[in-house]
Amino acid sequence: MDTGLENNGQPPVPTKYLDYMGFWEGLDEEKLNIQKCGSCGTFCHPPQPICPDCRTIDRTWEAVSGKGRVYSWVTYQDSPHPGFKAPFTVVLVELDEGVRMVSRMVDINPDDIETGMAVRVTFQKVTDEMVLPLFKKI
């Protein structure tokens, strides 16, 4: 899989904030866990301390299909960091559950990406402690 990462570079990795732990724990098992309100069922991403719809603090995690559509994207022609090999594409995916997630597209020529393109999550272990969700065309 061409992930856009240089073999000799060390790409930056996200910080595992406590409010995201259900998300990170799911990724370790190659599951895409999205925060869900235990009261009204609203999905929320990025995770929030309270439900944006009903304002309760009753939060749960649900493994979703990982399917969605490209909402928007940008292709970097120059690398902003030595750990990333340009060109690479950052994508905003709208999951079937209605939440949007920033990630990267893999295994596709950036010229072939289109708004509304059906995509599915794939998982990449980037360090001993970190798995990231990436997206590929389906």
Nearer to Zn ion, 54 or 74 (CB): 54
Q: Is 107 in the site for Zn ion (CB under 5 A)?
A: no
- Contacts of Zn ion in 65-104 (CB under 5 A): none
Q: How far apart are CA 31 and CA 73, in angstroms?
A: 23
Residues contacting Zn ion: total by CB under 5 A:
7
69 touches 49 (CB < 8 A): no
Q: How far apart are CA 91 and CA 16, in angstroms?
A: 21
Residue 9 burial (CB count, 10 A): 12
Q: Is 132 in the site for Zn ion (CB under 5 A)?
A: no
Q: Is 48 in the site for Zn ion (CB under 5 A)?
A: no
94 touches 73 (CB < 8 A): no
26 touches 54 (CB < 8 A): no
Q: Is 51 in the site for Zn ion (CB under 5 A)?
A: yes
Identify the residue among 39, 48, 79, 122 touching Zn ion (CB under 5 A). Answer: 39
Q: Is 37 in the site for Zn ion (CB under 5 A)?
A: yes
Strand duo 59-64 + 67-76: pairing:
unpaired
Cβ at position 99, least distance to Zn ion in Å: 13
Identify the residue among 13, 21, 40, 138 touching Zn ion (CB under 5 A). Answer: 40
Q: What residues line the site for Zn ion (CB under 5 A)?
A: 37, 39-40, 42, 51, 53-54
